[in-house]
Amino acid sequence: MQYLLIAAALNLNVVYADLATCKLGKDEIQKAGHAAMCIPKGIDYKMEAQDKRVDSMITSFVSLITELQKLENDAVAKAEKLEKKVN
């Protein structure tokens, strides 16, 4: 789970991968005389949905490229057969 470090006086919102790292940042901000806290970061469903759309688009693009490669290989094979028949 990711953690969000909030220091309102500094307008600071930083996301850390784990609580221990977040607490290190919080301690340093508090040493400087500012209030800070670490809270669990929730899931951003809007970003998650956007990531799924991007993944879907990339998957579709790769499928298209694969299909184009098959068509090209088929065309090359047919051309080679015709060339052999002519010779």
Amino acid at 35: A
The pLDDT tens digits of the residues spanning 43-80 come to 777 777 777 888 888 988 999 999 999 999 999 988 88
Stretch 82-87: mean pLDDT, rounded?
81
pTM: 0.44
The pLDDT tens digits of the residues spanning 15-27 come to 888 889 889 988 9
Interatomic CA distance for residues 79 and 72, integer angstroms: 11
